[in-house]
Amino acid sequence: MNLVIDKGNTQVKYGVYQRNSLLLFKTSDADDFLETIKKIFDEYPNIKQSIYCSVGGVDQKEIKILTLFNKVHVLSPTSKVPFSNNYATPASLGVDRMALATAAFYYNQYGNTLVIDMGTCITYDIVNADGTYLGGAISPGLAMRYKALHGQTNKLPLLTVEAPLSLIGNSTVQSMHSGVVNGIIHELDGVILEYKNRFKDLTVILTGGDGQFFAKRLKNSIFANSKFLLEGLNYLLEYNKQ
């Protein structure tokens, strides 16, 4: 039994796996890490190993806590991966993107797969039919764009995410919603189209916290999977046991 931990910029996600079956999914704030870990091990005392993935750096206190319960693999650029890595700067490749590429590799072996992660940033990662990770792109995420409009101007308000009423905003607030949301929609559709023109029979996976918000708004055919990164972490834990 495995415990996978994805520590993002805003939340921590936890998954308990029995082989490839997800038995438990939880989220918490970073401050509730210890309490959440205790509850998980109380409920699943047969967890033998865990994998820890953090995009913001490793918290050694959290690692020490985890080692009290089981063996821990801290995901890093030196971890073994099942795909061939063609990234020019592998040491700078985010551990979250390593996990997504791994999930793509196993999900669609011998096929071209684009993973789009809608988190704090929007990341694009492509694994081709030869099992090679080629790289992708990083752009500002949904909340980041709202914050930028407010923080980089004198008068624009800080808004929470909301679907625009129309393409043409008839107020400053609606104009901001239209600009942010429709801007991302057209970015996603445009990027997917470019990849489809370059890669035959492309499979597109949409994941991340904002994935569901955009899934039904895109013109292109996609597969939405909010737990795709966790699946990749579970695969990586098994792969690094070998």
Residue 96: active-site member = yes
Read off the DSSP letter of residue 179.
I
Nearest to 39 by CA among 73, 16, 9, 17: 16
Q: What integer pLDDT is reported at residue 203 of this predicted model?
A: 97
HSE of 79, CA atoms in CB hemisphere, 13 A: 28
Question: For residue 162, what are its two tokens?
Answer: 């909301």
Q: Indicate the residue type of 214.
A: F
Contact (CB, 8 A) for 25 and 5: no
Nearest to 20 by CA among 231, 239, 241: 231
Q: Is 191 among the annotated ligand-binding positions?
A: no
Query: pTM of the prediction?
Result: 0.93
Contact (CB, 8 A) for 91 and 79: no
pLDDT band at 119 (very low <50, low <70, confident <90, very high): very high
Rg over CA atoms, the chain: 19
- Same CATH topology for 2-74 and 84-233: the answer is yes
pLDDT band at 193 (very low <50, low <70, confident <90, very high): very high
Q: Is 242 among the annotated ligand-binding positions?
A: no
Q: Is 87 among the annotated ligand-binding positions?
A: yes
pLDDT tens for 168-178 read: 999 999 999 99
- The CATH number of 2-74, from 3.30.470.20, 3.30.420.40, 3.40.109.10, 3.90.1150.10, is 3.30.420.40
pLDDT tens for 68-93 read: 999 999 999 999 999 999 999 999 99
The highest-level CATH class for domain 84-233 is alpha beta
Enumerate the domain spans of the chain: 2-74, 84-233
Contact (CB, 8 A) for 96 and 54: no
pLDDT band at 221 (very low <50, low <70, confident <90, very high): confident
Q: Is 55 among the annotated ligand-binding positions?
A: no
Q: Is 10 among the annotated ligand-binding positions?
A: yes
Query: Is residue 10 pLDDT above 80, yes or no?
Result: no
pLDDT tens for 15-57 read: 999 999 999 999 999 889 999 999 999 999 999 999 999 988 8
Q: Is 172 among the annotated ligand-binding positions?
A: yes
Catalytic residue among 32, 59, 96, 125: 96
Nearest to 62 by CA among 6, 134, 17: 6
Q: Is 11 among the annotated ligand-binding positions?
A: yes
| Across 57-64, average pLDDT | 91
